[in-house]
Amino acid sequence: MALRLRVSLHMWERLKNWYRGEYVSHQNDPSSALVFIGGRYKQPLAARMLNVVFDFYLKNWRWCIGTMIAITGLVIHFTQTR
């Protein structure tokens, strides 16, 4: 049981690290006296696409659920009439 928990926690950490992405620090000009400290995380394309889909769902969840129910009803209707 402990091994299974450790493996699932390891996978969860890997998934979080993948979703967060790669840390990209600010580019500083070596000849300048001005230094920028910090950076940002650059997410992979799939993680950004998940964000877009999830944000769309949060904004339009009523229409998404209604559409899924209607399509499911149509599929059930046309598969049972044949």
Query: What is the chain's pLDDT, residue by residue, as a tens digit (82 residues)?
Result: 688 888 888 899 999 999 999 999 888 888 888 888 888 999 999 999 999 999 999 999 889 899 999 999 999 999 986 6
> How far is it, in rounded angstroms, from Cα 43 to Cα 19?
6
Domain ranges for the chain? 1-25+37-43, 45-82
Q: Which two tokens stand for residue 79?
A: 């598969």
* Whole-model pTM over 0.85: no
Which residue type does 11 have? Answer: M
